[in-house]
Amino acid sequence: MRILLTGAAGFVGSHLAERLLREGHQVLGVDNFCTGQRQNLEYLTPFAGFSFFEADAERPLEVAGAFDWVMHFASPASPPRYLKMPLETMRVNAEGTRHLLELALARKAAFFLASTSEVYGDPLVHPQPETYWGNVNPIGPRSVYDEAKRYAETLTLAYRRTYGLPVRIIRIFNTYGPRMDPEDGRVVTNFIAQALRGEPLTVYGDGSQTRSFQYVDDLVEGIVRLMAVDYPEPVNLGNPEEYTMLELARLVQELAGTSLPIAHEPLPQDDPKQRRPDIRLARELLGWEPKVPVREGLLRTIAYFKEKGTIGRLP
């Protein structure tokens, strides 16, 4: 297949592109390096089927030829990044999604949207099934991401209903692994970077809030399986194994071989108190569930950052 993939230099996008290339597909990667890393393209350029187009996915893309898939994975995804780029985040998920849906329609391609568990907001239902409508503050600072993704889902399904466009939507729960930007501000990279620098680990609030963490290879496996199934509505992809932030901090300390203190900071506005996916649909529809335990995935991620030496004064 020939696949257009936005966000190809990003953490998830580069892993997905590599998987598709290894399976023999052609991938045209698109990125403007707003949050993507040029070094991630080093994993893709050795493949003959890979080509790259530096462009902003919020604008119409001038690309030639037929495509089997248009896959939209371009967006700032960590709170520090999208809070610094609120308008860009909204545009790439709103205008960018519309332009890419039009491109898919024009080229008779299927469309794949990377959405997020953030559409559930600070959930009042736990764990969160796809049928839950969410509890999102529509005017809070985080809404530039939450509401943009909710709109992107709505738009995607409107194209499905209006034009019969084949679409897929995934809601990605917290994902981690090699190729993450160590400065992106997400909790896993924060903890690993601080542990490897010998700094106190920053926990917001009292640390009782929970998240569920899936290794990137598991996410990519779910994406590939969903491509092969005709199901247009959102599907949760995440690991139901739930950790408090204090539990995660202590696990990273253990795996990094440190015994650093924990520094508490105020909880950010609208920060969800709990987050865990209900993955019954993914199990039934795709035969999918996470395979990589959190402990093993964190060890791989810590080893990657040590090997790459991207976190300053590594021990």
- Residue range 2-175+214-237 forms a domain whose CATH class is alpha beta
Q: Which of 145, 159, 215, 243 is catalytic?
A: 145
* Strand duo 262-265 + 50-54: pairing: unpaired
> According to the model, what pLDDT value does residue 260 have?
80
- pLDDT over threshold 60, residue 286: yes
Distances in Å between the Cα of 127 and the Cα atoms of 15, 173, 207, 277 are 27, 12, 19, 5
Is 82 among the residues known to form the active site?
Answer: no
User: In a 3-state reduction of DSSP, which class is residue 24?
Assistant: coil
Distance CA(281)–CA(277), nearest Å, equals 10
9 three-class SS: coil
Task: Evaluate if residue 314 carries a pLDDT over 50.
Answer: no
Q: What is the mean pLDDT of the chain?
A: 93
Residue 6 has a pLDDT of 98
- CATH 3.90.25.10 assigned to domain 179-211+241-277+292-308? The reply is yes
Q: Rounded distance, CA 94 to CA 148, Å?
A: 6
- Residues 6 or more apart whose CB falls under 8 angstroms from that of 310 comprise 182
**134-168 confidence digits (pLDDT tens):** 999 999 999 999 999 999 999 999 999 999 999 99
What is the average per-residue pLDDT within 178-184?
89
Count of alpha carbons within 13 Å of 134, Cβ hemisphere only? 18
Out of 51-55, 187-191, 215-219, which region has the weakest mean confidence (pLDDT)?
A: 187-191
pLDDT higher than 50, residue 308: yes
DSSP for 85-151 reads: SHHHHHHHHHHHHHHHHHHHHHHT-EEEEEEEGGGGBS-SSSSB-TT---B--TTSTTHHHHHHHHH
CA atoms within 13 A on the CB side of 89: 23
Residues 6+ apart with CB under 8 A from 54: 30, 31, 32, 33
Q: How far apart are CA 299 and CA 309, in angstroms?
A: 15
So where are the chain's domains?
2-175+214-237, 179-211+241-277+292-308
Do 110 and 232 contact (CB within 8 A), yes or no? no
The helices-and-strands tally (H runs, E runs) of the chain is 9, 13
**pLDDT in the model for residue 311:** 56
